[in-house]
Amino acid sequence: MLTRFRWRRAATAAALCLSALAATTAPVSAEAPLSAPAVRQDLPEPPSTDVARVELADLTVEPPHSMTGYSRAKFPHWVKQQGACDTRETTLARDGRDVRLDDQCRAVSGTWVSAYDGKVFASAGQLDIDHMVPLANAWRSGADTWSTDQRKRFANDLTNPQLIAVSAASNRSKGDQSPDQWRPPLTSYWCTYSRAWTHVKHLYKLSVTPREQETLVTMLDTCEH
């Protein structure tokens, strides 16, 4: 009995060693989900419609500033947020469902619904991270006088409703246009969009044009339907 017990113990130990060796020598695919699924949080909720109306009325209304001197490089973005995760990857993890990240914080699987047009994606490469208030629009609205640190904070703001993962097509269609020039194809998202846009502009003390203000009023009206 003792001999049989020792033999079984040795066999078990050998099996464990082989298993550990295989784990350390087996190649790891770059597509393998190496981390736990990220928790879905969504775009930070903008203030209520009533608050947004008050904020909109408080904004400075003026013509757009000159684009002289503008460069996206003056808004350092996609900075590191935590460990290997930069702003883009953090937003992708936040806005998707069942998102898995590799050891470099790249989203290797998950599902994303683009709030602007309702399209569904299973590949992070088909998504852009949109600045709710585009960098160039911010420049024309007052960011031309900011310091680099202020622009960096604006371009990487995950606390407020400024960054959202959407379809690349909708983001590139929007470009740097304000709501009087471009609105999400899904009218059901106009309420959230106008509240978020207004709040970001109010928070950063950015101005609006007369037509932009009028359009935002109309979009906020959709919140009541």
Q: What would the DSSP string read from start to end of 157-182?
A: -TTTTTEEEEEHHHHHHHTT--TTT-
Task: Judge whether 5 lies within some domain.
Answer: no
Amino acid at 93: A
Asked whether the beta carbons of 211 and 64 are under 8 A apart, the reply is no
Q: How confident is the model at residue 9 (pLDDT cuts 50, 70, 90)?
A: very low
The count of residues in the chain is: 225
The answer to pTM > 0.85 is: no
Owning domain of residue 71? 42-85+127-224
Task: Judge whether 27 lies within some domain.
Answer: no
Query: How large is the average pLDDT for residues 47-76?
Result: 98
Q: What is the pLDDT of residue 224?
A: 85
Task: Judge whether 213 lies within some domain.
Answer: yes
Higher pLDDT, 83 or 220: 220
Q: What is the pLDDT of residue 20?
A: 31
Q: Which helix (H) or strand (E) holds 140?
A: helix 135-141
Q: How confident is the model at residue 36 (pLDDT cuts 50, 70, 90)?
A: very low
Query: How large is the average pLDDT for residues 39-65?
Result: 91
Which two tokens mark 10?
């040795």
Hey, what's the torsion of the CAs at 158, 42, 206, 136, to 10 degrees? 80
105: alpha, beta or left, given left = phi > 0 and alpha = psi -120 to 50?
A: left
Task: Judge whether 137 lies within some domain.
Answer: yes
Task: Judge whether 113 lies within some domain.
Answer: no
Whether the per-residue pLDDT at 127 is higher than 70: the answer is yes
pLDDT digits (tens, 9 = 90+) for 154-198: 999 999 999 999 999 999 999 999 999 999 999 999 999 999 999
- What's the Rg (C-alpha) of the chain? 24
Amino acid at 41: Q
Amino acid at 181: Q
Task: Judge whether 215 lies within some domain.
Answer: yes
Task: Judge whether 209 lies within some domain.
Answer: yes
Lowest mean pLDDT among 4-13, 50-59, 153-162, 214-223: 4-13
Q: What is the pLDDT of residue 42?
A: 79
Q: What is the pLDDT of residue 41?
A: 52
Task: Judge whether 36 lies within some domain.
Answer: no
On average, the pLDDT of the chain sits at: 85
Q: How many domains does the chain have?
A: 1
Q: What is the pLDDT of residue 29?
A: 28
Q: Which helix (H) or strand (E) holds 120?
A: strand 120-121
Tokens 């604006």 correspond to what residue?
A: 154
Q: How many CB atoms lie within 10 A of CB 146?
A: 19
Query: How large is the average pLDDT for residues 128-146?
Result: 98
